[in-house]
Amino acid sequence: MQWSVQNRTSAAMPRQADATSPTGCAGGAALAVSTLTAWRGSCIIPPPMRSGPLALVAAAVLAAASAVPARATESTQGLAQQALEECTRGREAAARAERVRHFEAGLAIAERAVRANPRNADAYFARFCNKGELARIDGESVGALIALGDLMEDLDRSIALEPNNAKALASKGIMLIRLPRLFGGDAAAGEAMLRRVLELDPNAVSSRLVLAERCDERGEHDEAMGLARRALEIATAERKHAQIAEAEGVLAKLGND
């Protein structure tokens, strides 16, 4: 498993030290699965399925999805936008059956977009969003872990086609920070990606929160607090209630350190 994941991604990825992280192979697998879909500002992990700070991984894709126009055409870009809309609706749905319906519809539309134009970055990103959500629809599982290689491959393709794609960079950066080294994690590379995201999108709340935790782990408390406070300001101004709660949680954690 280690070989297949590391060799299906375009960049090898080391692991961040985390005193709260599980240890050993089983613990590493659980951590990797909980990190699968790094996006609320990004994309995956509906609120009922979050687990601790690693759920910030759910903050890398849907920041973009929330900005998708309501009307989409049959163009490749329109299909990609429509697929991201389905991912967003699935994450917002309460019933499992409804979530599955939206994610499966989004995945089918994303596959059409990839076939229509294999050089469209958003098509791969939309496939990543819906495929990742389906992989962890019932929480942490071996099946979700097995899907990791495909998910990273879609992110890598999206970034290769559009190197300044902030939503894809945020998703991959958060995953690189959260994943154990065994499963391709590289905290330093992930942090560099998230700092690039803030250059491209200064309002990227989830990227700020993950960077805040990373800084705090190194003892850079002032920078950590600054990043988290700014994230809360942005989330409050944009009335993103879930992100407000996440920012408040990170600030509370930093204040207790």
Residues 6+ apart with CB under 8 A from 144: 33, 36, 135, 136
- List pLDDT tens digits, range 92-131: 899 999 999 999 999 999 999 999 999 999 999 999 999 9
> Could you list the residue range(s) of the whole structural domain that residue 143 is in?
31-45+59-163
pLDDT of res. 74: 64
* Residue 216 resides in a domain: no
Q: Within a domain: residue 37?
A: yes
**Is there a domain that residue 25 lies in?**
no
- pLDDT tier at 146 (50, 70, 90 boundaries)? confident
**Phi then psi for 219, rounded to 5 degrees?**
85, 10
| 148 in any annotated domain | yes
Top-confidence residue, 18 or 208: 208
Q: In angstroms, what CA-CA distances link 83 with 13, 123, 173, 246?
A: 28, 8, 22, 26
For the chain, how far is it from start to end, CA to CA, in angstroms? 36
Query: Side chain identity at 110, as an amino acid letter?
Result: A
Please report, rounded to a whole number, the percentage of residues in the chain having pLDDT higher than 90: 58
Nearest to 178 by CA among 151, 138, 154, 143: 151
- Count of domains for the chain: 1
Q: What are phi and psi of 24, to 5 degrees?
A: 80, 175
Query: Angle, to 10 degrees, between the axis of helix 205-217 and the axis of helix 241-256?
Result: 10
- 105: in domain: yes
- What is the per-residue DSSP string for 48-114? GG--GGGGGGGBSSHHHHTTS-S---SSHHHHHHHHHHHHHHHHH--SHHHHHHHHHHHHHHHHHHH
Contacts of 193 (CB under 8 A, 6+ apart): 169, 170, 172, 173, 176
- Whether 74 maps to a domain, the answer reads yes
pLDDT of res. 144: 67
User: Would you state the pLDDT for residue 141?
Assistant: 62
Asked whether residue 255 is domain-assigned, the answer is: no
pLDDT tens for residues 174-225? 999 988 888 889 999 999 999 999 999 999 999 999 999 999 999 999 999 9
How many angstroms separate the Cα of 216 from the Cα of each of 190, 206, 238?
Answer: 16, 15, 26
In a domain, 130, yes or no: yes
